[in-house]
Amino acid sequence: MSKVKSSNLGYPRIGEKREWKKALEQFWSKKLSEEAFLKRIKELRLSYLEKQKNSGIDLIPIGDFSLYDHILDTSVLFGFIPERFHHQNGAVSLDTYFSIARGNSNAVASEMTKWFNTNYHYIVPEINAGTTPYITENRLLNLYLEAKKELNIDGKPVIVGPVTLLKLSKGFEKKDFPNLLRALIPLYIEVFTDLQTAGATWVQVDEPILSTTLDKKELGYFKETYEAFHQAVPNLNLLLQTYFESVDHYQDVAALPVQGIGLDFVYDDGANLASLEKYGFPEDKVLAAGVVDGRNIWRTDLDEALQQVNDLLHFVDQERLWIQPSCSLQHVPVTVRQESELEPVLKNAISFADEKLKEVVALVKGVNEGRDAILEEIKESNEAIQALNHSSHRNIDSIKKEIQSLGDDMPKRPLPFSERQAIQEKKWKLPLLPTTTIGSLPQTKEIRSARQKWRKGEWTESQYEQFIQQNIAKWIKIQEDLDIDVLVHGEFERNDMVEYFGEKLRGFAFTRFAWVQSYGSRCVKPPIIFGDVDLEAPMTVKESTYAQSLTTRPVKGMLTGPVTIYNWSFVRNDISQFDVFKQIALALKKEIHALEENDIRMIQVDEPAIREGLPLKEEKKGKYLHDAVYAFRLATSYVDHSTQIHTHMCYSEFDEIIDAIDQLDADVISIEAARSHGEIISTFEDHEYDKGIGLGVYDIHSPRIPSVEEIKTSIERALRVIDPKLFWINPDCGLKTRKPEETIPALKNLVQATKEVREKH
């Protein structure tokens, strides 16, 4: 009898010890020859496949592996190579491939942006109306054959589907979409045909765009595309894979002529199951059911999941059901095994990629052989989850009470901005167009190595503290000499704007090796919010008050906001997002109170990640933004009228969130604008934004030192639409990645430009 199968959608490419990252960086810095690099990469690629095979996965993804990014791979496969890289037909060299991703001395890199609502960044395909796609080299076929030959794995090739690919691309107008799609369809067919000829039976076509809100026309593209595929390769099984949310137009999707449909049953808020209940599931298709959370790190409750799978069997026969993670495992770290330093109660409740595959296999066994066959696993998972839930970490009564006592009403500063403004003007007596920076100042090698020494115990606490103070003092003096109006202490004590706070707050844990790819070879190690969050002791008062003691100019206190802390962590899922927001916000509220008590009364609460958490579905955006605004205001509203709350964000797409930004009710917002001036200004102008605003007047991402003239132009442009009384002058973002010799002259020009503009007003 045929049985339920196990499947995987994608596996982390970075390696248990970031071997992949190391190989890439050695190759880039020419410490590895191309041959040695490719050999090393092949070993890694095969080892990942072998691992999946050994864990008992039936359908192993092929082609999810990448040398940089799988969207870039797809662009390159179809010849979407921007002209500035001068590619001639045929296979794309490594040099060209990496140049698109990273730029070279003659051509700038392609843009990168966030992959849906994850923290992974993909390289945005650049296509223009005149681009004629063609196949450079069928890499998917090569990889399929490699797995077969080397490991005897008959894999499931994975490719991003054409509608999603085009929707994520830029450089052409909407009206050219259908033509480009029609040019792409035959190329996909060519790839599919090759795969079929080579023996492939299933191909996974990822169309996560189906999880966003689509209109009828866009749905029509799916019909056209998949009907064409079906006609051309009727005997190849295509699995149309969705993830990160429910599919919006279930009936239309279910009717597409594909042989399988992959649905996310973890992040769908029950909507996918509801669709099955309402409309059933087509009898001739495979249901690939994502029941193991593919993007958060918590252990699956196997009993619950098994129940869920059994429920699905009401809609589909055993032989047409696959069990799999809800999305590619590239969004979680590789394995928990190495985390020897985590507290057992936490470690036991965590599951990374390798552990998730085991869960998938256990579930399949549980369905095929009956629950008793996996009793041991069920018991273990249940006990681990219960133990964490009942541990003291998740049961701090005082926090529960505090959260319960909060009303539904939006926290609010007692006076509206216009009245606060008058009070603050009197208190602060700042010149017109005040100058400031975003917070961090150059993190030199010296600073990073001092922190290492302190962490390793080679330096005492007080040695390190003294060193930090010296840096603060040095830079307070520099800022005064530059004649900047509102100073910062420089964030020298911080490694990272979330980790720093996580390490001081209760409820956070840190791993040793739990890295995930952010973009290219860059990996991040997000903190884990696993318990109730609380402030144990002030986190920033020491550095801020020290800095303030050295100068009569105001020094801004500097905090990371609740939403950003949330969005850049792995977060517990036993309580709601809103409750975690509130817990973090309450801790920050206490910190802000402590700062005020110590006479730090300009306080910046950074929220660069608000936009990232925006849900994919239109109807869910409102609640998220409400909760985000609530959290920010819970942290920042309970201050004196004269206390000036600043916030900072750094991205250019404000359209969808401008109302929410306004509702934050911060006295001053500083935002990135140097690279997209017109756009941002018009968003704020159209919105009639009427609080303090600092538009970044120079791009900190480049070592280039902006001239006085350039900065003046950019200030004057902004002043055409923004009230000078509300306008602040600052760089785009923090300066921690810049060198002192870049920072000082740039700031000097910024101050000079400001002074020249002031004279005219």
Instruction: Determine, following the binding rule CB under 6 A, whether residue 733 of this chain makes contact with ligand GLN.
Output: yes
Q: How far is the CB of 491 from ligand GLN (least distance, A)?
A: 6
Among 366-374, 436-444, 572-580, 708-716, the segment contacting ligand GLN (CB under 6 A)? 436-444
Residue 720 among known ligand-binding residues: no
User: Which has the closest alpha carbon to 241: 263, 222, 223, 256?
Assistant: 263
Q: How far is CA 84 from the centre of its chain?
A: 29
Instruction: Determine, following the binding rule CB under 5 A, whether residue 666 of this chain makes contact with Zn ion.
Output: no
Contact yes or no for 461/468 (Cβ under 8 A): no
Q: How far is CA 618 from the centre of its chain?
A: 19
Instruction: Determine, following the binding rule CB under 6 A, whether residue 734 of this chain makes contact with ligand GLN.
Output: yes
Closer residue to ligand GLN, CB minimum distance, 326 or 670: 670
Q: How far is the CB of 735 from ligand GLN (least distance, A)?
A: 7
Closer residue to Zn ion, CB minimum distance, 258 or 650: 650
Residue 327 among known ligand-binding residues: no
Binding mask of the shown chain, residues 473 to 502, with x at each position contacting ligand GLN by CB under 6 A: ------------------x-----x-----
Instruction: Determine, following the binding rule CB under 6 A, whether residue 200 of this chain makes contact with ligand GLN.
Output: no
> Within 332-371, which residues bind ligand GLN (CB under 6 A)?
none
Binding mask of the shown chain, residues 604 to 623, with x at each position contacting ligand GLN by CB under 6 A: --x-x---------------
Residue 192 and residue 596: Cα distance in Å, rounded?
64
Among 368-376, 434-442, 446-454, 718-726, the segment contacting ligand GLN (CB under 6 A)? 434-442
Instruction: Determine, following the binding rule CB under 6 A, whether residue 440 of this chain makes contact with ligand GLN.
Output: yes
Closer residue to ligand GLN, CB minimum distance, 572 or 648: 648
Backbone angles phi, psi at 529, to 5 degrees: -90, 100
Q: How far is the CB of 563 from ligand GLN (least distance, A)?
A: 13
Closer residue to ligand GLN, CB minimum distance, 157 or 439: 439
Strand order across the beta sheet in which 202-206 lies: 5-6, 321-325, 286-292, 260-264, 237-241, 202-206, 156-160, 61-62
Residue 248 among known ligand-binding residues: no
Contact yes or no for 526/502 (Cβ under 8 A): no
Which contiguous run of DSSP H or E holds residue 426? helix 417-428
Backbone angles phi, psi at 549, to 5 degrees: -65, -15
Contact yes or no for 751/697 (Cβ under 8 A): no
Residue whose CB is nearest to ligand GLN in the complex, by number: 734
Binding mask of the shown chain, residues 669 to 708, with x at each position contacting Zn ion by CB under 5 A: ----------------------------------------
> Helices (H), strands (E): how many in the chain?
27, 22
Residue 754 and residue 698: Cα distance in Å, rounded?
13
> Within 505-534, which residues bind ligand GLN (CB under 6 A)?
none
Binding mask of the shown chain, residues 554 to 593, with x at each position contacting Zn ion by CB under 5 A: ----------------------------------------
Residue 439 among known ligand-binding residues: yes
User: How many residues of this chain bind Zn ion (CB under 5 A)?
Assistant: 3
Q: Of ligand GLN, Zn ion, none, which one does residue 439 interact with (CB within 5 to 8 Å by kind)? A: ligand GLN
489 is known as an active-site residue: no
Residue whose CB is nearest to Zn ion in the complex, by number: 650
Which contiguous run of DSSP H or E holds residue 245? none
What's the Rg (C-alpha) of the chain?
27
**Judging by DSSP bridges, how do beta strands 487-488 and 321-325 pair with one another?**
unpaired
Could you say which of 70, 230, 701, 761 is catalytic? 701
Which contiguous run of DSSP H or E holds residue 53? helix 34-54
**How many other C-beta atoms lie within 10 A of the C-beta of residue 180?**
21
Instruction: Determine, following the binding rule CB under 5 A, whether residue 650 of this chain makes contact with Zn ion.
Output: yes
Give the total residue count for the chain: 761
Distances (CA, A) of 757 to 327, 438, 609, 677, 718: 52, 21, 32, 18, 12
Closer residue to ligand GLN, CB minimum distance, 558 or 747: 558
Handedness of CA 639, 641, 643, 649 (dihedral sign): positive
Q: How far is the CB of 750 from ligand GLN (least distance, A)?
A: 15
Q: Of ligand GLN, Zn ion, none, which one does residue 305 interact with (CB within 5 to 8 Å by kind)? A: none
Instruction: Determine, following the binding rule CB under 5 A, whether residue 602 of this chain makes contact with Zn ion.
Output: no
Residue 294 and residue 314: Cα distance in Å, rounded?
24
Among 203, 305, 316, 733, binds Zn ion (CB under 5 A): 733
Residues 6+ apart with CB under 8 A from 644: 424, 428, 601, 602, 603, 667, 668
Residue 606 among known ligand-binding residues: yes
Q: How far is CA 319 from the centre of its chain?
A: 36
DSSP reduced 3-state for 204 = strand
Closer residue to ligand GLN, CB minimum distance, 18 or 648: 648
Contact yes or no for 140/187 (Cβ under 8 A): no
Among 547, 585, 650, 750, binds ligand GLN (CB under 6 A): 650
Residue 28 among known ligand-binding residues: no
Residues 6+ apart with CB under 8 A from 249: 210, 214, 219
Which residues contact Zn ion by CB under 5 A?
A: 608, 650, 733
Give the residue numbers annotated as catalytic, written as ranges. Answer: 701
Residues that bind ligand GLN (CB under 6 A): 438-440, 491, 497, 558, 606, 608, 648, 650, 733-734, 736
Q: Which residues are annotated as a binding site for 5-methyltetrahydropteroyltri-L-glutamate?
A: 18-21, 114, 522-523, 568, 612
